[in-house]
């Protein structure tokens, strides 16, 4: 295969040395390791198009990659060594900030946290926020339709995107970078590529929404007797706070335990540790005093109603960061604790408490002693429903039950009219699980889209819903 013929055809870098390629070929969880004929790091959209045209001409599979922070193995090639890994990290320019239009046009390799900072410098807010924001890229965020902690107020990545620039599977460039809120001039191509995990084309740039900066943010932890009480608190918060309610996160008691075990330097802000806990944040357009008064009123009512047994409101920006640090370190705490079986699920908000109670009981009956590490974005129905082994169990012994645990969990999700992938994408981790619950009509339509946009099947093959065999 004439890989070196590609070397001089685009600006940027082409890595072929195994040592240079190695960091790109293993995911951050170290669960998936692949092989590639080369790693291409183009500098421009035109360079990306050149690389894709070469791959199309030579029938070389392409695996697009952003910050390589994915949870499902979507951005790592398989073990065949046939694919070219296409890293977008050098496409990292902010092309335009339009404060009046509340938009920003950025390249796919821009780090999410950097975009938040650029928006803030323009006195605007880019609200997409998640644990990996210091290293994940906006292209990866859009390719997986990332959610994060502010979905309740601002929506998923899809809702934050107004337009895209995409290199198609045959190497053409589609410029759909329109900063329009209204555009009814045909099929919405943008929504095909958002959430497609690089299986239909390569996102190279995006026009995203900005918002006015809030005058203040107020954050609180509240201990609740159960998730059913948490849902009552959520309903009250939505009714009284309205659009000011930005985040409503939840940790169950095993989560609090594992944080204390693995990261003891993180201080729990309440005396109560044996109940479910919710993290509430509101953004106030007027003042911190107004926001604090609103949150205090909510919590006082909730305590009188018996929905909350203890609460703590952050007294400063630094303390607010400490509160958020507890939620954001859950993934690290689990990783330190060892092997766990992860699920990224969504069910209707009204059914979360029943889902958790019933599914916990089913798994505990099948596998006594396992720990249910359940946390996530309660306000938008997205839970990270994870299962850890009993203390003292070897990871290898625990792995053998993964398939059975997945089946119990995902069958329950399906029964509750939910989704087996909420914000992490399907990748290779959940492609089979997702296909299991799709109807024949859905699969037929998706196959037709894939065939139309990527007839050679070179765009990230084997990911998302597989190759539609």
Q: Tell me: pLDDT of 2 over 80.
A: no
CATH number of domain containing 253: 3.30.70.2190
Q: Tell me: pLDDT of 131 over 90.
A: no
What's residue 387's pLDDT?
A: 94
Q: Is residue 454 part of a domain?
A: no
CB 203 within 8 A of CB 163: no
Q: Is residue 447 part of a domain?
A: no
Residue in this structure with the two tokens 């790693």, named with its chain if needed = 39
Residues 37 and 13 in one domain: yes
The rounded distance, in Å, linking the Cα atoms of 436 and 405 is 15
- Domain limit, last residue, from 70, 87, 104: 87
* More confident: 436 or 38: 38
Q: Is residue 468 part of a domain?
A: no
* pTM of the shown model: 0.92
Residues 109 and 178 in one domain: yes
CB 430 within 8 A of CB 443: no
Q: Tell me: pLDDT of 350 over 90.
A: yes
Rg (C-alpha) for the chain, rounded Å, is 23
The rounded distance, in Å, linking the Cα atoms of 220 and 250 is 12
Residues 52 and 140 in one domain: no
Mean pLDDT throughout 256-261? 94
Q: Tell me: pLDDT of 85 over 60.
A: yes
What's residue 468's pLDDT?
A: 52
Residues 323 and 240 in one domain: yes
Q: What is the pLDDT of residues 270-290, one digit of tens each?
A: 988 889 999 999 999 989 999
Residues 386 and 289 in one domain: no
Residues 58 and 12 in one domain: yes
Residues 327 and 231 in one domain: yes
The CA distances from residue 422 to 71, 129, 163, in Å, are 12, 15, 22
Residue in this structure with the two tokens 């070897």, named with its chain if needed = 394
Q: Is residue 436 part of a domain?
A: no
Residues 144 and 225 in one domain: no
Q: Is residue 430 part of a domain?
A: no
Q: Tell me: pLDDT of 82 over 80.
A: yes
Q: What is the pLDDT of residues 427-467, one digit of tens each?
A: 888 888 888 899 999 999 999 999 999 999 999 999 987 66
Exposed, middle or buried, 468 (CB in 10 Å: 0-12/13-18/19+)? middle
Q: What does pLDDT average to over the chain?
A: 94
The range of the structural domain enclosing residue 371 comes to: 338-424
Q: Tell me: pLDDT of 469 over 50.
A: no
CATH number of domain containing 11: 3.30.43.10
Q: What is the pLDDT of residues 376-417, one digit of tens each?
A: 999 999 999 999 988 777 767 788 899 999 999 999 999 999
Q: What is the pLDDT of residues 139-195, one digit of tens each?
A: 999 999 999 999 999 999 999 999 999 999 999 999 999 999 999 999 999 999 999
Residues 61 and 118 in one domain: no
What's residue 293's pLDDT?
A: 96
CATH number of domain containing 121: 3.30.465.10
Residues 113 and 192 in one domain: yes
CB 425 within 8 A of CB 27: no
Q: Is residue 441 part of a domain?
A: no
Percent residues over pLDDT 70 in the chain = 99
Residues 178 and 279 in one domain: no
Residues 323 and 417 in one domain: no
- Among 78-92, 320-334, 394-408, name the most confident range: 78-92
- Domain limit, last residue, from 189, 212, 235: 212
Q: Is residue 458 part of a domain?
A: no
- Domain limit, last residue, from 276, 303, 331: 331
CATH number of domain containing 382: 3.30.70.2740
What's residue 435's pLDDT?
A: 86
Cα-flanking dihedrals φ and ψ of residue 391, to 5°? Answer: -60, 135
Number of domains in the chain: 4
Q: Is residue 322 part of a domain?
A: yes
* More confident: 170 or 29: 170
């Amino acid at each position: 295969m004439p890989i070196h013929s590609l070397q001089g055809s685009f600006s940027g870098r082409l890595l072929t040395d195994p040592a240079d390629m190695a960091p790109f070929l293993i995911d951050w969880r170290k669960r998936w390791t692949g092989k590639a004929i080369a790693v291409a790091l183009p500098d421009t959209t035109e360079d990306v198009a050149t690389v894709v045209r070469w791959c199309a001409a030579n029938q070389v599979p392409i695996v697009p990659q952003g910050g390589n922070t994915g949870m499902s193995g979507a951005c790592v090639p398989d073990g065949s060594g046939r694919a070219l890994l296409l890293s977008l990290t050098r496409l990292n320019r902010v092309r335009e900030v339009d404060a009046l239009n509340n938009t920003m046009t950025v390249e796919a390799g821009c780090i999410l946290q950097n975009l938040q900072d650029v928006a803030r410098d323009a006195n605007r807010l880019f609200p997409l926020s998640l644990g990996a924001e210091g290293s994940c890229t906006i292209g990866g965020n859009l390719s997986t339709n990332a959610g994060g902690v502010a979905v309740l107020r601002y929506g998923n990545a899809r809702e934050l995107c107004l337009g895209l620039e995409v290199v198609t599977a045959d190497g053409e460039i589609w410029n759909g970078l329109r900063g329009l809120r209204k555009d009814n001039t045909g099929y919405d191509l943008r929504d095909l590529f958002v959430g497609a995990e690089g299986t239909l084309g390569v996102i190279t740039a995006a026009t995203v929404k900005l918002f006015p900066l809030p005058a203040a943010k107020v954050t609180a932890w509240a201990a609740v007797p159960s998730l059913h009480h948490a849902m009552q608190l959520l309903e009250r918060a939505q009714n009284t706070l309205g659009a000011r309610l930005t985040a409503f996160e939840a940790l169950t008691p095993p989560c609090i335990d594992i944080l204390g075990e693995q990261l003891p330097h993180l201080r729990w802000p309440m005396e109560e540790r044996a109940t479910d806990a919710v993290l509430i944040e509101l953004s106030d357009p007027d003042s911190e005093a107004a926001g604090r008064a609103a949150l205090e009123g909510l919590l006082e009512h909730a305590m009188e109603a018996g929905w909350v047994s203890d609460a703590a409101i952050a007294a400063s920006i630094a303390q607010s960061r400490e509160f958020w640090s507890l939620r954001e370190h859950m993934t690290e705490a689990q990783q330190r604790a060892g092997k766990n079986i992860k699920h990224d699920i969504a069910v209707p908000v009204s059914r979360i408490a029943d889902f958790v109670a019933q599914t916990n009981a089913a798994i505990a009956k099948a596998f006594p002693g396992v720990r249910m590490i359940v946390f996530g974005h309660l306000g938008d129905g997205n839970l990270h429903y994870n299962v850890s082994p009993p203390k003292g169990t070897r990871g290898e012994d625990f792995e053998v039950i993964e398939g059975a645990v997945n089946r119990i969990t995902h069958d329950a999700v399906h029964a509750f009219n939910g989704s087996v992938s909420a914000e992490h994408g399907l990748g290779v981790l959940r492609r089979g699980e997702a296909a299991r619950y799709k109807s024949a009509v859905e699969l037929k339509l998706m196959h037709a889209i894939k065939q139309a946009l990527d007839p050679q099947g070179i765009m990230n093959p084997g990911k998302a819903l597989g190759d539609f065999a």
